[in-house]
Structures are given as C-alpha cells and as structure tokens.
Chains A and B, each alone.
Chain A
Amino acid sequence: MIRHEYLSETQASYRRNLEGVERRTARSIASGRAARAVSRLVKVSVVVHVIFRREVENISDAQVKSQIDVLNRDFRAKNPDRSQAPAVWKSLVADANIEFALATRDPNGKATDGITRTKTTRTSFLPDDSMKTAAGGHAPWPARRYLNIWVCNLGQNLLGYAQFPGGPAKTDGVVILGSAFGTKGTAAAPFNLGRTATHEVGHWLNLRHIWADTLGCGGSDFVSDTPNQAGPNTGKPAFPHLSCTNGPNGDMFMNYMDYVDDVAMVMFTPGQVARMNACLADIRGGLGR
C-alpha cells in the first residue's frame, strides 16, 4: 500500500530533508563517493537501550551480543544461510562492509559496555518514540556518533520500526520488540534470528522496502538491481513468486527489506549497499570515525 511517511506528515522540515537526502544519495552514487566508502570498512558504535517493566523484559547481555553478531554477519554477507539465495541471484549477495560493535565509551568518554538499562512503569509502548525520552524510557546518545537501538515491549504486535537519515536527532535510531531481538533468551520464532534489527538498520541507512511502499507496481525502492514487486511477502515463500510481470524469477522475497520470516531473508544487493554507503559517506558521515 502506498503510505505517507509518519514524520513527513507531521513535520514539513523532515519531508524537505528527505528530498535533500535523496539528491545527495544520487550524487554520492554517481560521483563514486559511495563506492569509495564501501571499499573501506566502517565500524559503527552501537548503544542498546533496554527498557523494561517486568524482569523478563530486561534481556541478558548475551541476548544483546547475539544481535550484534547477527548484524555483523548480515552486513558483511557472512551469514551461512546466504546459500539459500536462488542461483540466479547468488552473484547479487553483497557485502556492505559495515561492522557493528557495542560502544566502549559513553558520550562523556567514560568506559561502558554499550548497554543502558531503564526500569519503566509502561506495560507497552506505541511506535510514537515515547521510549526515546527520559520520561518512561531513555534519551538517545548523540546520533552523529552512535547507532541507538531501543529494545522494549513494543505494542500493536509490531516487531520494530526505524527512522530514515535526515530526521530529528532526538529520535534517531531503531526500536525492536524484545522477543524479536537477537537469537537467544526471549527471542521467539519465527522472528528469533535477529533479522528485525537487520531490516530496521537497513532503513536507518536509507533503504526502502523492496516493494517500494506502493499499492501495485508503480513505485521504486531507488535500487535498480531489485526486481519491481507489488507488495510485501510474508512467511516463507516458495521461489519463484511472481508479481508486476517480474517473471521468470519474480520477487526477491529473500531480501532483508521484504517482510518474510527471519529464516527466509538472507541478502542485500549491490544497489542497496551503494545506498547504505552513500548514507555513511555523507548524511551519517560522523559514524565509524
């Protein structure tokens, strides 16, 4: 379905920023700046804000680390299940050359394990950024230097949500439901392989849904090596799944930016990697430096 940007509906400045981000992304890819960025490894400092009411929501360090491990496999194309990519797209399984590590220094320069833990009275959170404030949650660490990940009891049966680059710093980052975070502890099938965070960090690095958020076949995800696709796929689809006259290979439903189960998504493409690195070379240029 075509849907309006949540923030662009509410903030005209954010909409203008997004348009600017797209112009800069296109320039960065055309000039080769994105390609130069992808040629060097970028290490992103991560802080995980665990927001809990019940003790079971206070997930373990091991569960947090299991998620960081997944990000490091998926964004380096080192995930063993990339072999599931159909033969026709194996050559498109791309290494984004991005690594993630829990922060070792907090914003004041003090040693940290990169995890904050905050007790809340809230039974659950709407996807309205309320977990990102000191009232009930935890304020972000500076978005120019850290990827902020909030883990909480997200309501409405949602697994997670993100914010594109170019948005307000005070809400920048991604939010993940505790039972969809990492591969251990409270992580629950079919979302227990850490792919919700892979998908949301993809958005945070400026990737669009592979079906382009349009009703039908008229939209674009601004990436030329992903096939045109009518809508989200869910569950564990069988290859090929056709839409938008995209035969014989059909939808690239095994892409991290579709809506399939964790076990069914295994790859980014070179076009998506170019967009992410355009973002890291420019809008999010302060990270990994």
Chain B
Amino acid sequence: MPVERSALIGSWIRSGEEDGPEERVYRRPDYPFPPARGRESFELAEDGRLVERGPGPTDVPTEDSGEWEFEDDSLRLRSPAGERALEIVSAESDRLVVRA
C-alpha cells in the first residue's frame, strides 16, 4: 500500500529494541520506551519543517532544525546535522518502519 505523506506528520523516536536485520523501527512519543543511553528522533511538521534530535557528545540530547520532503516512498531529511534519505517500508499511525 502506498504511504501517504500525511501519515508521516508528527514526532518519531527510534525504537532500536524492535529493529530487524533489514529494518529500523520508530515509535510515537507516547510509546513506553525503556531507558536508553540516547535515542535519535525527528519531528516532521506539515509545512515541511524538520527538527532532529539525538544524543550529543556528552549524552545530553541536542537538536537541529531543517526541512523534510517525501517522494517515491523516500523520506529526505536535511539539517545542519547532514542530509539523509530513509526508505519507508510501512507507516502506521503508531509505528514507522524504514529500510536499514
């Protein structure tokens, strides 16, 4: 089933404990995440703005702002942290899966 852009809007936090060999899993902030040394996350706004968060050099979470686009099942994230493309495998309301 093709992924709708609207299904991607909002915050996604890496749920590495659920990763498969070929897949990375993200969950919504209300998911009961266990403690971790740090988690990568991103927030996709309707108007194309992006906020990326992740562990900093001393484990304090830090964030960068940028833009995002969605085209051909590929989510493109651009911020001072760099540019990357995530190939979407599936996007449910509470679970986003991308190709590792």
Query: Chain A interface (Cβ within 8 Å of chain B)?
Result: 1-6, 9, 127, 156-164, 177, 179-180, 191, 196, 199-200, 203, 208-209, 213, 215-216, 232, 234-235, 259
Contact = CB atoms under 8 A, between A and B. Distances in A.
Contacts of B7: none
Interface of B: 16-17, 33-40, 52, 54-62, 64, 80-82, 84
B38 A158 contact: yes
B56 A160 contact: no
Contacts of A3: 54-57, 62, 64, 81
The interface residues of chain B, by DSSP majority, are classed as loop
Given A215-B81, A215-B84, A232-B55, A6 B60 contact: yes
B49 to A, nearest CB: 18
A202 B38 CA distance: 16
A5 B35 contact: no
A186 B91 CA distance: 37
Contact of A161 (B16, B36, B54, B60): B60
9 contacts: A1-B54, A1-B82, A156-B61, A159-B35, A164-B57, A199-B37, A232-B55, A235-B17, A259-B37
A5 B57 contact: yes
A259 B38 contact: yes
B35 A6 contact: no
A232 B57 contact: no
Contact of B58 (A163, A179, A215, A235): A163
B57 A208 contact: yes
A127 B60 contact: yes
A19 to B, nearest CB: 14
Contacts of B64: 3-4
Contacts of B36: 157-159, 234, 259
B81 A1 contact: yes
Contacts of A159: 35-37, 59
- Chain A contact surface mostly: loop
B34 A161 contact: no
Contacts of A216: 82
A157 B56 contact: no
Contact of B56 (A6, A177, A191): A6
Given A1-B40, A2-B81, A215-B84, A191 B35 contact: yes
Given A215-B82, A232-B38, A160 B59 contact: yes
Contacts of B60: 6, 127, 161
Nearest to A180: B35
A150 B84 CA distance: 37
Contacts of A180: 35
A209 B35 contact: no
A134 B86 CA distance: 45
Nearest to A156: B61
A2 B38 contact: no
Given A157-B39, A235-B17, A259-B38, A200 B59 contact: yes
Given A158-B36, A161-B59, A177-B35, 5 more contacts: A4-B62, A159-B59, A191-B35, A213-B56, A216-B82
Contacts of B81: 1-3, 215
